[in-house]
Chain A
């Protein structure tokens, strides 16, 4: 039977190095290029029509932009809108990477732990920078949940510290694990379908169809979760426990 982890293997097609660092081109890198080409192509085409009564593609792009803007306004308030380009790009990159990975023979960039980790660490580092720039030393107050009695502080602060440090890890692992698990299940089911032959093989094959449909949903949901958590973490850094206006209406 075929190894279900086989689809995650990478092979360097073109060896490259920059200042002694290996930057060889492999399937994942090609997929990243495909992602940026598709996203940029779609959004620039959509943006170029600029019609008051939108074309179909323009509607789609506007829906997406409005969706992400709404998400930012809900979690971060008006101050968060300056992060819009970053958050929108993050969402589109992850979404297209998840969806393109579902095409047989292609590669899921987000099934690489290092890729999701880079995103998660970037997001978390950004939230720290934003927090310290906006609030200075007071940003350490994020370790003290509002309303904590003084005698609980020695207990609460380590717990909060751990929960803070868990943020980038959970962010990275959640996306990676979801993408990996889906493909592993698909791989196993396909293996069973082939091994089962015509007599019983149709059953796991039918499951692969259902799983594929589910995976499309998961691709959207995981991209959304990653983005919404990015908004929440950045929002926390902006408002410190949501004391500001951002959560006033939610």
Chain B
């Protein structure tokens, strides 16, 4: 076999050691460090990104919970405010109604009283006028000697006057 021709051995051994040594040195010096560095960098970056994502997720969950709590509190508060407002409106309405009714009652009572007063005053006036008239008639009767017919006429006149004033 040609591979066992020993006169090539020294050259092959020498060049193999030299080539391998050069390759090892070049790769060790220039190729492996950047590749390993990039790999480490990527590994670190991925781990950091994952950790950050996890942190963000937890933070988001916490905030969500916080917002939910706040939302529940706000809706409860809104409900309370609404109920309060309704109650107050109802109370105001009731109060107004009562006040108006009372006012109306008072106005009515006032009017009735006034009417009564006026009527009493009118009756009083009529009475006093009728008395005056009667006195006048009596005066006239006494002044003149009157006939029977005169009496009657005068009486009728007086009564008619009274009726006229009183009959209304």
Residues on A with beta carbons closer than 8 Å to the beta carbon of B5 = 10
A-B contact count (CB 8 A): 130
Most buried by B among A25, A44, A111: A44
Partner of B23, one of A8, A58, A93, A114: A93
Encode B15-50 as 1/0 by CB contact (under 8 A) with A.
111011011101110111111111101100100000
DSSP class of B's interface residues: helix, strand, loop or mixed? helix
Q: Give complex CA distance A62, B114 in Å.
A: 114
DSSP class of A's interface residues: helix, strand, loop or mixed? helix
Cβ-based interface call for A188 (8 A): no
Cβ-based interface call for A228 (8 A): no
**Min C-beta distance of B31 to chain A, whole Å:** 4
**Min C-beta distance of B105 to chain A, whole Å:** 91
Residues on B with beta carbons closer than 8 Å to the beta carbon of A54 = 38
Residue of B whose beta carbon sits closest to that of A109: B16
The answer to whether residues A43 and B10 also contact, given A5-B2, A93-B20, A176-B3 and a CB cut-off of 8 A, is: no
Q: Is the CB of A66 within 8 A of B39?
A: yes
Residues on B with beta carbons closer than 8 Å to the beta carbon of A111 = 3
Cβ-based interface call for A21 (8 A): yes
The answer to whether residues A21 and B27 also contact, given A8-B3, A113-B3 and a CB cut-off of 8 A, is: no
Question: 29 A-B pairs, CB-CB below 8 angstroms?
Answer: A8-B3, A9-B2, A10-B8, A21-B10, A22-B11, A23-B11, A24-B11, A25-B15, A26-B11, A29-B12, A36-B23, A40-B27, A40-B31, A44-B31, A47-B34, A47-B38, A48-B34, A50-B34, A66-B39, A84-B32, A86-B24, A89-B20, A89-B24, A89-B28, A92-B23, A93-B19, A113-B3, A114-B8, A114-B12
- B residues bordering A, Cβ < 8 Å? 1-5, 7-17, 19-20, 22-24, 26-28, 30-39, 41-42, 45
Which 6 residue pairs of A and B lie closest in terms of their CB atoms, listed nearest first? A43-B31, A47-B34, A32-B19, A36-B23, A85-B28, A8-B2
